[in-house]
C-alpha cells in the first residue's frame, strides 16, 4: 500500500515538473509579438511551440537567453552541418565564428533554410566585390544562385566550391568531343577550368579571363609548348624579370622541378596584368597555408588582407617577408601616421634587440591579432610594457 502511494506521488511530481519546465509558446507570446515568428518557412521548434528547446526562460549566459553558444546550440540538432564543418579544411567566416545567425533567421523566414535573404542578395551583403556586371554572364550567377557552385558552410576549396577541380564544371558541362577538341584533346578531368575561365562572366562568350598572354591571344601555342617547360622558358622572353629575383628573399625556385613562374602566373590568361587572378590571396595561400590559417583565427585583421601584393613584392625583396619598401611599406597608405606615431627608426631602438622600431614592431598587419588595430598586445598595457617595463 505504502509502495503504491509513493509511486503515485513520484508520478505526480514528474508531471508537475514537466508542466513547468516545458516551453509553451503561448506563455512567451504574452510578451513577444507572435507575428514576428511567422513566415513561409518556420523553424520546427517554433512551429511546435517549443521555445525552450533553444531558449532558457529565466537565465542564461548567452545573448537572447540561448541555452548554449549559438553554433553549439544549432549543431545539437543540425548534426549533418556539424559533421561537415568538422571534416572540411575551409570554413565560411560566419561558421568559423559560430555565427549561424549571420545568414539564417532563427524563427521564421520567407526562404528555404531560414535564410535572411534570398539568393545572391544574402551573399552580396558581405561579398560586394563579387557583384559585377558582365557582357556575358554565367547562368547561375545571373539568377543569383550562388549555391549552385558554392557551399555555404565548409569546403575543401578556399573559395568554398562544392567540388574541387574541373568536376564542379563537368557536372553541368558534359564532356563532348567539341569541348575536348577546344582543349586540344587534353583530359578535361585534370584541368583547372577556373584558372582560365571566370565562373561569373566575362567579355566574351566563354568567360575567358580578360588579360591574355600575347602568344595565347595570337594562337601561337608552339612558341611555348613543345619546348623545355622550365623557368628558363619564361625568362627567355621576360629576361628583364630576372633582376627582380636577384634579392635576398626570392620567390624564384618555388616551383620545385617545375616552372617557377607558372606557380603564380597563368601562362594563358589572367584577370589583370601579370596574368594573375583577381583573388591573388588564393595563390599565396597554396604555399603559405600557415599564415592564412593563423589569420583566419584572428579577431582583428588588416583591411584587404587578401591583396598580398599591396605590401609584399611578389618576385622577392631584400627585406624579410619580401615587404615592399622595407620599413616604409605602411606609409604607402598610412602617410599621416608616420608624422604622429611613436618614434621610429634610428631614433627609437627596440630595447629587445637593438633594431630600429617600425610600424610592424607594434602592429601585425600580416596575420592580424586578437587586439584592436592588430596590435601585437593589448594597447592598454600589455604591448607597451614589452619595452617600457617601468610602467
Partner 1 sequence: MIMNVKQITLGFGVLLAILSHSGLASAAAGSWSTKYRLPQEDSGVRLEQPVAVAVDHQNQRYYVVDAKKGQLVSFDKAGGFLAAFNAGGELQRPVAVAKTSSGSLWVIERSINKLLYINPKQQKIRKFAPKYPDGTEMFLSRLALDRQDRLFVLDRLKGAVLLLDDSLEISQVYAGGSTTHGFVDFKLQQGKLWALDALDHTLYRFDLSGTVTKKLKLSGLEFPTAFEIDNAGSFYLLDRHAGTVVVYGMNGMRSYDFLAKGKWSGQLWNATDLLFDWEGRLCVVDEGNGRVEVLTR
In contact, 71 and 95? CB cutoff 8 Å: yes
Task: Report in angstroms the alpha-carbon separations of 309 from 255, 274, 280, 281, 296.
Answer: 19, 12, 8, 9, 19
Nearer to partner 1, 101 or 291 (CB): 291
Measured from the CB of residue 228, what is the shortest distance to partner 1 in angstroms?
A: 8
Give the length of the chain: 391
Nearer to partner 1, 38 or 246 (CB): 246
CB < 8 Å & 24+ apart, contacts of 216-220: 216/267, 216/268, 216/269
Measured from the CB of residue 310, what is the shortest distance to partner 1 in angstroms?
A: 20
Task: Give the number of other Cβ atoms within 10 Å of residue 357's Cβ.
Answer: 20
Query: CA-CA distance, 69 to 65, in Å (whole number)?
Result: 10
Measured from the CB of residue 391, what is the shortest distance to partner 1 in angstroms?
A: 17
In contact, 369 and 375? CB cutoff 8 Å: yes
Measured from the CB of residue 316, what is the shortest distance to partner 1 in angstroms?
A: 9
Query: CA-CA distance, 298 to 287, in Å (whole number)?
Result: 20
In contact, 216 and 184? CB cutoff 8 Å: no
Nearer to partner 1, 271 or 350 (CB): 350
Phi-psi region of 90 (alpha: psi -120 to 50; beta: other; left: phi over 0): beta
Query: DSSP string covering 78-113, please?
Result: -HHHHHHHHH-SEE-HHHHTT-GGGTB-SSEESSGG
Place of cell 589583370: 272
Measured from the CB of residue 371, what is the shortest distance to partner 1 in angstroms?
A: 16
Measured from the CB of residue 130, what is the shortest distance to partner 1 in angstroms?
A: 30
Nearer to partner 1, 49 or 255 (CB): 255
Measured from the CB of residue 257, what is the shortest distance to partner 1 in angstroms?
A: 6
Query: CA-CA distance, 295 to 228, in Å (whole number)?
Result: 38
C-alpha dihedral over 93, 94, 96, 101, to 10 degrees?
Answer: -170
Nearer to partner 1, 11 or 242 (CB): 242
Q: Which residues of the shown chain bind partner 1 in the complex (CB under 8 A)?
A: 228, 230-232, 242, 245-248, 250, 252-258, 260, 287-288, 290-291, 294, 318, 320-321, 350, 352-355, 386
Nearer to partner 1, 318 or 380 (CB): 318
Measured from the CB of residue 30, what is the shortest distance to partner 1 in angstroms?
A: 52
Nearer to partner 1, 326 or 379 (CB): 326
Nearer to partner 1, 117 or 288 (CB): 288
Amino acid at each position: 500500500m505504502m509502495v503504491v502511494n509513493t509511486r503515485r506521488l513520484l508520478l505526480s511530481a514528474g508531471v508537475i515538473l514537466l508542466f513547468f519546465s516545458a516551453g509553451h509558446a503561448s506563455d512567451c507570446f504574452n510578451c513577444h509579438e507572435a507575428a514576428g515568428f511567422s513566415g513561409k518557412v518556420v523553424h520546427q521548434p517554433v512551429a511546435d511551440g517549443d521555445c525552450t528547446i533553444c531558449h532558457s526562460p529565466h537565465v542564461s549566459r548567452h545573448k537572447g537567453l540561448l541555452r548554449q553558444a549559438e553554433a553549439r546550440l544549432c549543431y545539437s540538432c543540425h548534426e549533418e552541418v556539424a559533421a561537415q564543418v568538422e571534416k572540411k579544411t575551409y570554413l565560411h567566416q560566419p561558421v568559423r565564428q559560430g555565427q549561424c545567425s549571420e545568414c539564417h533567421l532563427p524563427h521564421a523566414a520567407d526562404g528555404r533554410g531560414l535564410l535572411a535573404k534570398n539568393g545572391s542578395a544574402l551573399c552580396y551583403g558581405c561579398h560586394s566585390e563579387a557583384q559585377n556586371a558582365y557582357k556575358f554572364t554565367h547562368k547561375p550567377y545571373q539568377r543569383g544562385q550562388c549555391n549552385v557552385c558554392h557551399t555555404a558552410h565548409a569546403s575543401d576549396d578556399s573559395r568554398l566550391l562544392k567540388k574541387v577541380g574541373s568536376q564542379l564544371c563537368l557536372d553541368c558541362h558534359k564532356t563532348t568531343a567539341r569541348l575536348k577538341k577546344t582543349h586540344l584533346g587534353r583530359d578535361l578531368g585534370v584541368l583547372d577550368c577556373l584558372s582560365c575561365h571566370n565562373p561569373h562572366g566575362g567579355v566574351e562568350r566563354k568567360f575567358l579571363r580578360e588579360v591574355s598572354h600575347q602568344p595565347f591571344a595570337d594562337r601561337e601555342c608552339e612558341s611555348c609548348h613543345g619546348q623545355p617547360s622550365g623557368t628558363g622558358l619564361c625568362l627567355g622572353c621576360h629576361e628583364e624579370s630576372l633582376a627582380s629575383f636577384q634579392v635576398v628573399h626570392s620567390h624564384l625556385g618555388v616551383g620545385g622541378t617545375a616552372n617557377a613562374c607558372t606557380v603564380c602566373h597563368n601562362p594563358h590568361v589572367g584577370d589583370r596584368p601579370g596574368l594573375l587572378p583577381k583573388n591573388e590571396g588564393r595563390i599565396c595561400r597554396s604555399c603559405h597555408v600557415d599564415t592564412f590559417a593563423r589569420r583566419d583565427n584572428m579577431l582583428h585583421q588588416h583591411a584587404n588582407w587578401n591583396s598580398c601584393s599591396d605590401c609584399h613584392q611578389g618576385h622577392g625583396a631584400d627585406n624579410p617577408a619580401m615587404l615592399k619598401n622595407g620599413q616604409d611599406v605602411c606609409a604607402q597608405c598610412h602617410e599621416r601616421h608616420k608624422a604622429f606615431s611613436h618614434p621610429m627608426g634610428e631614433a627609437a631602438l627596440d630595447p629587445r634587440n637593438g633594431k630600429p622600431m617600425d610600424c610592424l614592431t607594434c602592429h601585425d598587419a600580416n596575420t592580424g591579432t586578437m587586439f584592436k588595430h592588430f596590435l601585437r598586445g593589448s594597447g592598454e598595457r600589455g604591448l607597451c610594457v614589452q619595452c617600457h617595463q617601468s610602467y
